[in-house]
Amino acid sequence: MMNNTILCGDSKDRLKDLPDSSVDLVVTDPPYLVNYRDRKGRSVANDANAEAVLPVFDELYRVLKPNTLCLCFCGWTALPEFTAAWAKAGFRIVGHIVWTKDYASSKGQTAYRHESAYVLAKGWPKPPPEPFADVQKWVYSGNRFHPTEKSVEIIAPLIKAFSKPGDVILDPFLGSGTTAVAAALTGRRYIGIELEQAYCDLAERRLHGVARFRQRQNASTDANQSGDDRDAA
């Protein structure tokens, strides 16, 4: 079992390297199938290629342990395609989370002022002791690393609510690495898969930064503990 690993390549292929029932939680933000392009002209790989995205959910169902969850961000524009893929894989929708924005990211018949994710169940997982509120406040990442980047402040609370320390968190559409970073910061193990090498490299650099941060934290804790021991003596 590969833990604390970034795999570069196509998720449909790389997921085959993972054994059945080996993952505790999936948190992922796949391409929304809208052929998105941001103000800087950046695009998202496979964002107009449903065949590269939707079959991944069959593999996610296989690698998840029984009675676990997949948290999947999704836009409304391709919701029929996503819900069909989820049902085909075996998932049930058991929750819907909405993050409200202070700004409109786009405008059409309505002004788009929210992001959403669906809570997908494999089997019958127990609800968390403190259920996660299904309306949350959005925290903007600034999209510094990726055109559709979610902030650690959005992903970390999901991981803490729906998993426990030491669990394996998988993101098959890792992008710039936010899910892996959030998992590492919350004491979970991570597996990330990303198609583009540049983003794989970026994710590794971000995770090296997390490792250095945790080392400094541990050193500070050890120093404080030594001081407490001396005082007690």
Tell me the domains of the chain and their CATH numbers.
7-232 (3.40.50.150)
Report whether pLDDT(1) > 70: no
- Beta carbons of 60 and 16 less than 8 angstroms apart: no
Rounded Cα distance between 20 and 124, Å, is 18
Written in H, E and C, the secondary structure of 96-140 is: EEEEECCCCCEECCCEECEEEEEEEEECCCCCCCCCCCCEEECCC
Report whether pLDDT(175) > 80: yes
- Beta carbons of 71 and 99 less than 8 angstroms apart: no
Radius of gyration of the chain (CA): 19
Q: What is the pLDDT of residue 63?
A: 98
Please provide residue 205's backbone torsions phi and psi, each rounded to the nearest 5 degrees.
-65, -40
Rounded Cα distance between 20 and 14, Å, is 13
Report whether pLDDT(220) > 80: no
- Beta carbons of 119 and 146 less than 8 angstroms apart: no
* Model confidence, pTM: 0.89
Report whether pLDDT(135) > 80: yes
What average pLDDT does the segment 211-216 reach?
78
Least confident residue range of 68-72, 105-109, 136-140, 218-222: 218-222
